[in-house]
Amino acid sequence: ILHDYAATKAAIISLTKSLAKELIDKGIRVNSVAPGPFWSPLQISGGQPQSKIPEFGQSSMMGRAGQPVELAGTYVLLASDESSYTTGQVYGVTGGKQIN
């Protein structure tokens, strides 16, 4: 496990929740998105060892890594009035893989 990466993810969750509480009186909603395995230039350029590229994302329930376009709907929803009663949440877009 990448300890520094895991620590930053935990910090983002904490920051999301604390900012949501702090800013709600100003009408500002704060949410975050926690993507699971998604293809990006990082994966090919050293984010994954080359030997693990063929199986990248296969541990998700969908059995594959996501494509960046598959994150767009979550961001659009969070930016829209459809989520006007949503704040302090972390959305896992993970292909069904559990986030902790």
> Do 66 and 57 touch, CB atoms closer than 8 A?
yes
CB atoms within 10 A of CB 65: 21
Catalytic residue among 5, 75, 85, 91: 5
Distance CA 100, CA 89 (A): 13
Cα–Cα dist 47/5, whole Å = 12
Query: In the annotation, is 75 catalytic?
Result: no
Catalytic positions are 5
